[in-house]
Amino acid sequence: MVDLSWCKKQKNGIKFIKPSDNLSKEYFKYIGETLSVLGGIECKSNMWLATSKYYSEYFCAYSILMKIGIKCEIHDCTIGLCKLLEKEGILFDGFAKTLEEDKELRIDNQYYLKNRKVKIDNDALTEFLLRTKEILNRLNYDMINKIRGLLE
């Protein structure tokens, strides 16, 4: 079991909200916008490439969380939730690892100005997006209640 107890105690950690298809769709819409920005950067800025790549993946996770009815504003806790959802077979293998690695790349380039090279694989990003859409389409009332029960 993934330990999320610290996250549950934080002010902006894991909180239950009403499951929302509308918010889920809005976050999913942001993925397309973020990918458009990513395409326009044209490899000029590793900081913005890393930031855009990470947020396109993060919005995938957040779209799923909104559909389940979980609000979480601490990125490490969101990744922890993704690890739990992977373990439960809701998310595909590697979802959380991708998110975690790209978060570190973003932090290195955005906050520590390391200018690490960012590899953008459009096919992989598209696959990540499509697999997320499949998850959103598959999530039903029973699955949502099961996930919420695991976190209570």
pLDDT at 1: 55
Q: Which two tokens stand for residue 92?
A: 């595909």
Q: How far apart are CA 9 and CA 2, in angstroms?
A: 15
CATH code of the domain made up of 17-151: 1.20.120.330
Report domain extents, the chain.
17-151
Q: Mind listing the pLDDT tens digit for each residue in 75-124?
A: 999 999 999 999 999 999 999 999 999 999 999 999 999 999 999 898 89
DSSP 90-121: SSPTTHHHHHHHHHHHHHHHHTS---------
Handedness of CA 135, 98, 52, 82 (dihedral sign): positive
Q: Mind listing the pLDDT tens digit for each residue in 4-51?
A: 999 999 999 999 999 999 999 999 988 888 877 777 766 678 998 999
pTM, two decimals, is: 0.92
Angle between helices 21-41 and 122-138 (to 10 degrees): 180
